[in-house]
Amino acid sequence: MMKFIRGMGAIALAFLSLPALAQQLSGSEVIRVVQNGTTKSTTMAGLLASRGISPQVDKLVRQQQRALSSNAYDLPDYGSGPSAGKAAPTLTWSATAGTGKTQARLMNDADNSWGAFYGGIPTQVSGASFGFPVVASAVANPVGGSGRGAVGWAIEIITDDAAPALMLNYNPVAQVRILVDGQFVSRTPAVMGNANSGGFQYLIIDFGAKSAKGRHIRFESELNLPFRGVYVSPTSRVWRPTPADFLRAAWIGDSKAAYGTQSNTPNSFAHDNYASITMRVLGVTDALQLGVAGTGIASDNPSLGLRYGARMNDLALLQALPGGVDAVFVQGSINDRDKAPALIQSELAGNIVAIRAIVGPAVPIFVIGVDSGGLGSGYNVAAGVLAAEQAMLAAVNASADQLVSFVPISTAAPTPVMFGDGSTGTASAYMQADLIHETFGASVPGTGGMEYLARASAAGIRVATTKLRR
């Protein structure tokens, strides 16, 4: 793609004053720039770098703008909105893939061009099956696998088949969800079916007819649910999506970035937790959740994992994925509310330095304040929460890193992000009875406290990202 920008004197960043143009650019376009009568060629990324602007920051701004109107959480279910007039597929659990179906690809194929994997690093479990997410952890999780909770993972394919089938090992508590062309078939996830007496299960996604251009299918799940491949008709194709607007981000957090079915939260789904929804509404394609319940910047959980600093090995492995990460989010934790502010500030300062060493000089780091849960009364946030957030702000202010931003939550102006009823600190529709964990919106989509908190945080992150670009 070629763009032509005319400037006088210094190279003009015309796209900064032309938002519509900026949103069309990916960063790799070749651009002709006329400078003092001389025509030069560069790329959008090169032009940004020449002006001291991080290409990743510019990419985030453009993606966040696109996502305001195109993320799945703000679109109706498939069959309405962009897909109006199209029938939603029928989802059926079966003991077989269907008549005449053949396995298009095995998970252990050397060529992974058939699908994209999000949420972690797939690692072989047994035979042709893989589990997600698999990255190293400082402390083993006694429940099994990594030191994080049951975070979400996803697989995306494009296929022209009329009724593709996904083959999985059986897990009686795992939940799943399907998106087609960027829209949920149903926002509410469903528990995995058992059509084969605990054996392999096939999820058949029946559209009734083939698609000439192919349909973009995203399969979301959680837990260590081995995935074994895709089945289609012999005359159908399956290929890997290559979105121009691809974004990968890592979120270091506590239980609100670790929840899945195996948690103390009712109606929960790992893709509907605080970390996942925040990243998805910001346009992140691959939302990596490095969450451990009961931890924080200065808090350890002896049975599950250590404080945030212990997750740097995980981040390094994810940074080694092709293209690395485009942003890192560090979530303040209510678990730190009884920790000394000086300790929180010191630990976070060390985290920022460590993250920068891993992700390189151009990746923005967003430090998100501490949500108060339902604690506090009379619109006053609990003192320990305020102290923790103020310690985090102090660490960011003291940092010489120009690509670190602070996003206030409990100190947000004009009013903090609070739950409870605003006067007594009791649980509301957004809070669970422990006053620590927000509710999920799985049973009533769009009403859960996790989503409320995520949207409030996303709004602050958009503002912070725009400031980084100036």
Find the angle CA(242)-CA(244)-CA(247) to the nearest 5 degrees.
90
On whether residue 79 sits in a domain, the answer given is: no
Same domain, yes or no, for 219 and 290?
no
Lowest mean pLDDT among 131-145, 304-318, 432-446: 131-145
CA angle 421, 426, 432 (to 5 degrees): 105
Query: Can the peptide bond before residue 76 be classed as cis, meaning omega within 30 degrees of 0?
Result: no
Structural domain of 324: 247-469
d(CA 290, CA 256): 10
111 and 145 belong to one structural domain: yes
Q: Do residues 223 and 256 both lie within one domain?
A: no
- Domain with residue 122: its CATH number is 2.60.120
User: Does residue 283 belong to any structural domain of this protein?
Assistant: yes
Q: Answer whether residue 37 is part of any domain.
A: no
Confidence of residue 173 (pLDDT cuts 50, 70, 90): confident
Q: Choose the final residue of a domain: 239, 265, 285.
A: 239
Among 12-16, 117-121, 302-306, the minimum mean pLDDT is found in 12-16
Question: What is the reported pLDDT for 21?
Answer: 41
Q: Give the angle 404-405-406 at the CA atoms, nearest 5°.
A: 130
pTM over 0.85: no
- Residue 11 included in any domain: no
Structure confidence by residue, pLDDT tens digits, 275-295: 999 999 999 999 988 888 889
**Residue of 361, 296, 302, 382 whose CA lies nearest to 335:** 296
Q: What average pLDDT is seen over the chain?
A: 79
- Buried-state track 246-258, b at ≥16 Cβ within 10 A, e below 16: bbbbbbbbbbbbb
Question: Is the same domain home to 277 and 301?
Answer: yes
Q: What is the pLDDT of residues 303-354, one digit of tens each?
A: 777 899 988 988 898 898 888 999 999 999 999 999 999 999 999 999 999 9
Q: Are strands 404-407 and 365-368 parallel, antiparallel or unpaired?
A: parallel
In a domain, 166, yes or no: yes
Q: Which of 14, 29, 62, 20 is nearest to 465 (CA)?
A: 62
**Domain membership flag for residue 218:** yes
Beta bridge partners of 230: 105, 166
Residues 438 and 358 in one domain: yes
Residue spans of alpha helices (H) in 259-329:
274-281, 312-319
Q: In terms of domains, do 196 and 263 share one? A: no
Task: With respect to residue 33, please indicate whether it lies within any of the assigned structural domains.
Answer: no
Report residue 211's pLDDT band, with 50, 70 and 90 as the boundaries: very high
By three-state DSSP, how is residue 16 classified? Answer: helix
Say whether both 263 and 332 belong to one domain: yes
State the CATH number of the domain containing residue 415. Answer: 3.40.50.1110
Total domains present in the chain: 2
- Contact between 302 and 224 (Cβ < 8 Å): no
Q: Which is it for the CA torsion 372, 374, 376, 380, positive or negative?
A: positive
Residue 216 banded pLDDT, cuts 50, 70, 90? very high
Same structural domain for residues 118 and 141?
yes
Decide which of 181, 210, 239 is a domain's last residue: 239
Please indicate, yes or no, whether residues 261 and 187 belong to a single structural domain of this protein. Answer: no
- 28: Cβ contacts below 8 Å, ≥ 6 apart: 43, 44, 45
* CB 286 within 8 Å of CB 153: no
d(CA 117, CA 97): 21
- Could you tell me if residue 402 is inside a domain? yes
Task: Tell me if residue 210 falls in helix, strand or coil.
Answer: coil
Q: At what angle do helices 449-469 and 274-281 cross, to 10 degrees?
A: 50
Tokens coding 270: 């790992």
Q: 268, 440 in Cβ contact below 8 A?
A: yes
Q: What angle do CA 314, 360, 41 make, to 5 degrees?
A: 135
Helices (H) and strands (E) in the chain, counts: 8, 22
Let me know whether 225 and 251 are in one domain: no
pLDDT value at position 411? 87
Q: State whether 169 and 278 are in the same domain.
A: no
The more confident residue out of 458 and 412 is 458
What is d(CA 330, CA 457) in angstroms, rounded to the nearest whole number?
12
Half-sphere exposure of 115 (CA within 13 A, CB side): 24
Which residues, 6+ apart, have CB-to-CB distance to 390 below 8 Å?
Answer: 341, 411
Q: How many angstroms separate the CA atoms of 227 and 321, rounded? A: 20
CA distance 432 to 379: 18
- Domain boundary among the residues 214, 239, 264 is at 239
Contacts of 292 (CB under 8 A, 6+ apart): 147, 148, 149, 254, 255, 258, 301, 304, 305, 306, 311
**Do 106 and 153 share a domain, yes or no?**
yes
**Higher pLDDT, residue 191 or 146:** 191
271 pLDDT band (50/70/90 cuts)?
confident
Beta strands 365-368 and 248-253, pairing class: unpaired
